[in-house]
Amino acid sequence: MTDKNSNAMWGGRFAAGPDAIMEAINASISYDKRMAAQDIAGSRAHAAMLAAQGIITDSDATAIREGLLTVLSEIETGSFQFSTALEDIHMNVEARLKEVIGAPAGRLHTGRSRNDQVATDFRLWVRDQVDAAIAGCEALQRALLQQAEAGADWVMPGFTHLQTAQPVTWGHHMMAYVEMLGRDVGRFRDARARMNESPLGAAALAGTGFPIDRHMTATALGFDRPSANSLDAVADRDFALEFLSAATICAMHLSRFAEELVIWSSAQFRFVALSDRFSTGSSIMPQKKNPDAAELIRAKIGRILGAMVALFTVMKGLPLAYSKDMQEDKEQTFDAADSLMLALAAMEGMVRDMTANTKALEAAAGAGFSTATDLADWLVRALNMPFRDAHHVTGSLVALAEAKGCDLPDLTLADMQSVHSAITDDVFGVLGVHNSVASRTSYGGTAPLRVREQIARWKDILG
């Protein structure tokens, strides 16, 4: 009776009692098996170093290294049987290695611990994701460059507060995201440089008495150097936090662009048409074409930001060196990396496929008195008027146009002179949207000339 009540309190799948719960909470193989390739690479480098240092024999090292390739092949082909009882990828690989090569497998763990082993595996895995993220950002930049080059002269409204502000060019708008992604790439590269130190050989926390060569394993695994402090080496997860931080900012940029695509593709705006490949229909409304891919990209930052906050929360109270809490570092990071790469790929596809409605863009560019600032600037230049006075005169002209139900370029010269008598016919040369964007020639401005300069600069950067 006691046993039955005891088991019942655990409920459902844990009816077997506390042992089942402990196995479930302790095991990480269900997700850390994703690091199999990194784990085996680290073990192969470690075995080669042990032999070079005379800690194990060359024959044992050869057997270990070849056996590990057999294990990797089994994992890659799907024939490997993972065991929850063996807890993690490290013990699963080592147990299978023993079955494949026998006694030499027991020498592999000399001079290391699962603490430095997992730190090495995870760092290698995150480094691979950083490289993938950089490639994804650059692929999206190239897609944006294509759009920018095609539309360097197309005019569209520039917004502040989502209200029409001044005309800009389509190419200029696309290049804004090229710049954002460039900063994302910079953050990923900075993070990669800092994370490129090898924890292998730090052992449990204090190093090892075996005469290992940590520089040799670091070089073999593509690290710049071994980490300089064994406590920090096994306790550090800054590399994952930096990746998640950079990924969050990148996802935020993608979300902002996704929001614009949702707005632009609406029937009310009609600025762009998204391809059928990245849209869906409605189950009951046949006229609808929903920008689902953009909406899902917009949502991905929630998962990525959540992963970053979760790992910060895990790490914030941990004393040195390793604690089992740190097992919670991987699922969050794995999910964030998957989400980021999917969002980047989907956004690249949408950008490559989308078609700008240049007529709708140009019509919207001229609406909402978007050339009012050009008028004020003309008053300053042509009439030597203080800008605050020019601002007031322009406001009066906007009010006049509103009262007449027209836009600024539609006012007559007499209309304008009724507000300020010194205005001349030359003013109409600045009021068209094409004239407006062409005049914005300051560095980084929206003038087609400047946009093409930035396109050329980025083409050189991306190669």
Q: Which amino acid is at 244?
A: L
Check: CB of residue 397 under 8 Å from CB of residue 357. no
Asked if residue 139 has a cis previous peptide bond (ω within 30° of 0), the answer is no
Give residue for tokens 């006229």.
287
* Rg value, the chain, Cα: 31
State both tokens at 437. Answer: 């964007």
Return d(Cα 347, Cα 276) in angstroms, integer.
14
Of 346, 326, 407, 331, residue with least CA distance to 164? 407
Q: Which amino acid is at 366?
A: G
Check: CB of residue 231 under 8 Å from CB of residue 173. no
Give residue for tokens 């600069």.
457
Which of these is catalytic: 79, 161, 421, 442?
161
Coil, strand or helix at 151: coil
> Is 161 marked active-site?
yes
Check: CB of residue 371 under 8 Å from CB of residue 429. no
Q: 270-279 burial, b if ≥16 CB within 10 A, otherwise e?
A: ebbebeeebb
Give residue for tokens 């290391």.
112
Can you name the residues that pair with 157 across neighbouring β-strands? 167
Directed axis angle between helix 292-315 and helix 329-353, to 10°? 160
For 242-295, the three-class secondary structure string (H helix, E strand, C coil) is HHHHHHHHHHHHHHHHHHHHHHHCCCCCCCEECCHHHCECCCCCCCCCECHHHH
Which of these is catalytic: 30, 73, 275, 282?
282
Catalytic residues: 161, 282
